[in-house]
Every structure is written in structure tokens, then in C-alpha cells.
Amino acid sequence: MRRFPDYRLATLRGDLLGGMTAAVVALPLSLAYGVASGMGAAAGLYGAIAVGFFAAVFGGTQTQVSGPTAPMAIVMAVVITSYAKSLPEALTVVVLAGLLQVLLGVLRLGRFVAFTPYVVVTGFMSGIGVLVMAIQVLPFLGSDPVPGGAVGMLSALPRALARIDSGALAIGCVTLAFAIFWPPRLAKYLPGPLAALIPGTLLGTFWLHEAPVVGPVPAGLPIPHLELPSLEFLARAVEPALMLALIGSVVSLLTCLVADSLTRTSHDPDRELIGQGIGNAAAGLVGGLPGAGTPVYTVPNIRAGGVTRAAGAVFALLLLALLLGLGPYVESIPLAALAAVLMKVGWDLVDWHFLTRLHRVRRDHVVVMLTTLGLAIFVDLVSAVALGLVASGLARAAQLEQTEHDSVVSVPLLDQMFLFEGEDVEGEDPFSARVGMVALKGSLTVTSSRKLVRTISMDLGEHEVVVFDFSGATFIDDSAAMLVKQLIDIAIDEGTPAIVMGVAGEVAATLGALDALQGVPRERIVEDIDEARQAARRLLGIEPPATGD
């Protein structure tokens, strides 16, 4: 009989406090992300409710809280300006992204996100931070936002500076000052984003009335947006949907690692992707902004006492209750105040700790980080992650090349020690070495294949017999297997018979699948050094050692 976890009053109190704290943090940010995405403030709240609830219930992390995030808002802004011609089409992309996330979870691909190098993650998140700050510059000055991310902002900046809205600028400066200087000791009672939004909103409500505001927000429950897209649009929607799915998955699973480190628990990455996908699909159906797990909501939840999925559900239900009566109050929030809050969020996303230590970091790591950062800011987020991973892989391959090259040894074997094993043989040169050994240890992959061919092939013609020793090999990929075949072919061309020793397990399976040993007769494929010695003696025409009667 299945036993339910021990859920006590103290646990319930912690979940209630955690969910309430996360909701207070998420309220101003959800509104700001909705506006920044171009979908509207209400879409940010709808997304926080849908993603927050379903990701908590169906996800793979007990304490993670999900909702709209800066990366997802940035991507949705790109979707709306570059891919979708209407809101229903944009929401179709969101639903499709959610379904792709579910598929990633079903295919059990979640665990691979943990292998993303830190330099790619920090470059990506820092790029997002710079982008968030960049696209908020125009609303901060009282101008309408423009598409095109940082490049679009820079092109529109001269015109915005020529007609600055002094009221919006004053509201933005006051809000930003509160966001920066709000004391950390008070943040546990009143989160910084909400504390900063209050004076900015009051300033716009009672004095600076001309500053642009959020405007009308739909009241009541979210209404499903159901519209069947055309097949032509579905084909076009795959690219932005995949972009949303991948970025949402990476951000969520990295946040899971943060939650694990704080709670000393372990998450289920594949289930987490399924939960996130269900939440984003639901968000798309009700007109909400897609979201992901984020430390901005998760860490306050954990520190306030949240320990189970109930905290995430409380977070979503509380936002839903606020939504039902919040409309009139949200409408009067100045856009400059929201822009200031997001500027502080963007600043915090930049990994200043890493950036200030770039001069101490390996050069190849710096190149990967700056490549990812630059692509995120000036090209697009998918290219940033994809090319960042490629650059990181190339840097890693360069490191592995030397490591793998050092793990392959090509040495001559003295006849006296190998062929005759200490026998007293008259007339033999004590320094003769007719047999050479190529010992392959550990892993051997494509990274070192070409260099090893050049290095070892020069040694093969110097011996009458060569022994390939795989007894220390643990892994070999297809490229390395073809390298072995190439080395055997070189030995044959040089007139040097080959003996293969110690092939077993996965290494044997890979070599066999590619027929890498087809040039070696079966009697020369041996198990150990004794059998290799006997095979070499036969090839060299050396009689077996005499045995006593």
C-alpha cells in the first residue's frame, strides 16, 4: 500500500509563506515581462498562473516556482515581431513550444542540460541581462518600445533622446533608485521589485499624470484562445517554438540545480520538462506569456519555508485571486516604473563575478563566454546557445586531444625481454627490438585521431611485428575505430604483420561493428601478453622454447 508523505501543519505553514512570498515577487515582474513581450500586462499574470500551477503539480522539483522570465519574454517579443502576424498565431507558438518540452521530457533528454558548460550558461544569462536592460531604455525615457532588441533600441535611441518625457524619466529614476538601494534586511518582509514599484506608481498616480501607463487590463478569469492554425503557419512556427522550448528547458533545469543545492534534494529532469511543457501549453491556451523555473521566484519560496509542490500551487492560486480584483490598480502603473524594475533584474542577471575575473580565466573559456554573450545581444538567443555549445565543444576537443594523445604509447619491445622472456639465447643482439607495441588506454575519440595517425604511423615501419594492445582501453568511438583500421592497413602496407590484444566489451563491439579488424587473421587476435608473445614468435619463425623432460 502506497504511503503519502508526512505533511504536517509546519509544512503547510511553510508552503503558504513560501507561495505568498514568491507571488509578491512575481506580481510586478509578471506585469513587466508581459509588457516587455508585447503581449500586455495581463498576459504576464495569465502566464504566471498557468505555468506556476501546472509546472508545480506535474514537474520534477518539489520547491521550484515557475512563471514568466526575462529570457522567455525576450523570445516572445521576437516571435511577435518576426514570426506571428496576430496574437492567436503567437499563442499557437507558445502551445507548440509546450508540447515540444513535453516531448523532450518523454524522450528523457532532460539530464543532458546538466552537461551545459558554465561559460555558455553565464554568457547566455549575461546576454539576456544586457538585452533586458537595453529594451527597457526607451520606455524608461517615455518612448514606445521598438522591435529588434538591442540593435533596434540603438537605432531608435537618438530620436528618443530628442523627445524625452520628463515625467516618465523622473518616475523611472525614482523607481530604479528604490530597486537598487532597498535594504536586503527588509527584502524578506517586502521584496525589492514590489518596494520599488510602489513609489513609482504613487508618483505617476498623484503628480506625473502624463507619463505612459499600462492601460486597460481585462478583468476576470483568463479566457481560452482557441484558433486552428493553417498548416503553412505550423511549419513556420516550428523554429520559434523550438527556440522557446529549448530556452525554457535550459533555464528551468539550471534553476532545478539551484533548488537542489539549497534544499539538498534531487530533481527529476525529465519529469520537470513534462511539467514545464504542460504549463506552457496551458499558458498558450489562455493567452498567457510562456515561462520557466527561475531563481527569482524559487529562492524566495525556499527561504520563506516552502518545501513541497503545494507552495507552487499556492503561488499560482494567490495570483489568480489577485487577478480577479486587481485590474483597476494595475492599469495606472507607469511603464517607466516597470522598465526600471526590469533594468534592475537585467543588471542582476549579468554574471559580474565572472566578468570581473576574465583576465584570470583560460583564453578558450573567455572566447566561448564572449561569443555566447555577443550572439545573445546582437543576433538571437538560439544562435547564442547553439554556437556557444559548438565553441565550447571545440575548446574541449582541443584539451582532450592532448590528453588522449598522451594516453597512447608506442614503444619498441626488446627481443630479450619480450620474445625470449629472459631465455639465454646465444648470438642475439641484446638491443634488438623486432616487435613494437601500440598501447591504447582510456578513451580514444575523434579529437585525437588524426594526430595519432601521423605520430604512430611513423613507428610502424621500424618493426617486423606490431602489437596493438587494447587491454587498457575503456571507450572508443567510431572515428577512433576507423583510426585503428587505418593503422592496421598502414602496417600491412609497410609489410608489418599486426597482432591485436585485449579487445573486449564495448571496445570490441565498436571495432566489430565497423570491421576495423578485418585485416587481422583470427589467430592473431589474442587475449593477453603470453598469447601475443607466441603469435609474434610464430610470425618471426622462432622455435618455441625447449622444455625439460
The three-state DSSP-derived secondary structure of 93-128 is HHHHHHHHHHHHHHCCCHHHHHHCCHHHHHHHHHHH
Walk along the chain (549 residues) and give the pLDDT tens digit of each residue.
344 456 788 888 889 888 887 887 788 888 888 888 888 888 999 999 999 999 999 999 999 999 998 889 888 988 888 888 888 889 999 999 999 999 999 998 877 765 677 788 788 778 878 888 888 898 899 888 776 778 888 888 899 888 888 999 999 999 999 989 988 888 767 777 778 888 988 998 888 878 888 776 666 667 766 677 778 888 888 988 988 998 898 889 878 877 887 788 888 999 999 999 999 999 999 999 999 998 878 887 887 788 999 999 999 998 888 788 766 777 788 889 888 888 887 888 788 888 888 888 878 788 888 888 888 888 766 677 777 777 766 666 665 555 555 567 777 887 777 877 656 655 566 678 888 888 877 777 665 555 566 656 666 667 788 888 888 888 887 877 887 888 788 777 778 888 999 998 888 888 888 888 888 888 899 988 889 888 888 888 877 665 554
Do 132 and 345 form a contact (C-beta atoms < 8 A)? yes
Per the DSSP assignment, residues forming a β-bridge with 67 are 292
Would you say 272 and 36 are in contact if contact means Cβ atoms under 8 Å apart?
A: no
Q: Let me know if 228 is exposed, middle or buried by CB neighbors in 10 A (0-12, 13-18, 19+).
A: exposed
CB within 8 Å of 299: residues ≥ 6 apart? 258, 262
How does strand 66-67 pair with strand 292-293? antiparallel
Task: Kindly provide the b/e burial profile for residues 394-424, where b requires at least 16 CB atoms within 10 angstroms of the residue's own CB.
Answer: ebeeeebbeebeebbebebbbbbebbbeeee
Q: Which residue's entry shows cell 594526430?
A: 451
Sign of the torsion angle spanned by Cα atoms 32, 33, 37, 40: negative
Q: What is the pLDDT of residue 177?
A: 93
What pLDDT sits at residue 219? Answer: 65
Q: Which three cell numbers stand for residue 536?
A: 609474434
CB of 12 closer than 8 Å to CB of 304: no
Say whether 175 sits in a helix, a strand or coil. helix
CB distance 38 to 80 below 8 Å:
yes
Neighbours of 167 (CB within 10 A): 19
CA–CA dist 49, 68 (Å, integer): 9
Q: What would the DSSP string read from start to end of 188-246?
A: TTS-HHHHHHHHHHHHHHHT-TTS-B------SSPPP---PPPHHHHHHHHHHHHHHHH
